[in-house]
Amino acid sequence: MSERGTAAEGRINWRRILPILLTTTLVGGVCGIFVINELDRQHDGAHLRSYTERALERALEISSAADQMLREMNAGSAPACSDQDLEMLRSIVLESRFMSDVGRISGDRVMCTGVRGRLRAPWGLSAPDRVDAAGTRFWTEGMPLPLQALPTGLVSRGNAVVFIAPHAYFDVDHPDPGISAAAVSSGGDYIYHRFAWDDDQPLEALGRPGWPRFIGARQISLCDPTQDICVVSLLRERGLLGTEPGRAAMAAAIGGGLLFGVMLLLSYLFGFLNDEKLPARLLRALKREALAVHDQPIVRLASG
């Protein structure tokens, strides 16, 4: 057994090694928190994109359904609000997933609907909030009609009008906390529907190309090339202090424990734990007969 084999058998100098181990553990814990925070941010980004894709898909379904109904209603040959026309309107409402009612308009007044039939007192409408290139008129979601209990949006073309049901966006209307989203026109100048929106974020600022970035928020915008619809979603960035306490504690424990173990192993292998001086180590080796001493006489070559 060589002298090196006894190098780590001495007393441990905790005064020297303990500060190093504590510092290493602290650094490992902080690194663990940074790692888990970055993983959470990556997960948040993937979740935001997934939600935006689903919201855009639903907005396109509603837009396609409204367009199809307006085409069908304007292609009808029966006089507006006649018995035959009302029967067709009722049939359209019953078959629709996203419309609460459909009707006929004359000028700025609703004359009849599939659900209510002919109106004794026609409903007056304000000027549309948007008119697209095809002549389709849009009224922003709100309470534009008498005796209305829930907000609805109106879309009209020709003498036909459809009422978008309040539940049309039911499966995407309440995103997770921290997410704000809206279906808007591709130019950002009109809001079709607000899924959920944080009042601190200026939604009206979206009326410029490129979707301006908001401070402290991750943003995704997806558009459909065939329709004038985009969905823009925002998610408040998860800061380092925003990590869940339980996950942060677990990450800190794992990171600190790993670096603590690595540092302790390296200290042992390289003899940093040993506090013995060289004379004491030599004496211990001699006592255990782990070190042999050979007396070599000095021979002067010149003396022959």
Q: What is the three-class DSSP state of 135? A: coil
Residue type, 17: I
Please tell me the pTM assigned to this model.
0.65
- Name which of 101, 196, 209, 198 is nearest 155 in CA terms: 101
Query: Alpha-carbon distance 211 to 239, whole Å?
Result: 23
User: The CATH number of 42-61+172-241 is which of 3.30.750, 3.30.2320, 3.30.450, 1.10.1760?
Assistant: 3.30.450
Q: What does the block give as tokens for 168?
A: 């049309």
Q: Domain ranges for the chain, please list them.
A: 3-34+242-288, 42-61+172-241, 65-164
Residue 183 makes CB contacts below 8 A (sequence gap 6+) with: 55, 56, 59, 191, 192, 193, 195, 229, 230, 231
Residue-by-residue pLDDT tens, the chain, 304 positions: 444 444 444 455 566 666 666 676 666 666 666 666 666 666 777 888 899 999 999 999 999 999 999 999 999 889 999 999 999 999 999 999 999 899 999 988 999 999 989 998 888 888 888 998 888 999 887 666 666 666 788 999 999 999 998 888 888 888 877 788 889 888 778 888 888 655 444 454 444 434 445 555 678 889 988 888 999 888 876 655 555 666 666 656 666 666 666 666 665 555 555 555 556 666 666 666 666 666 666 666 665 5
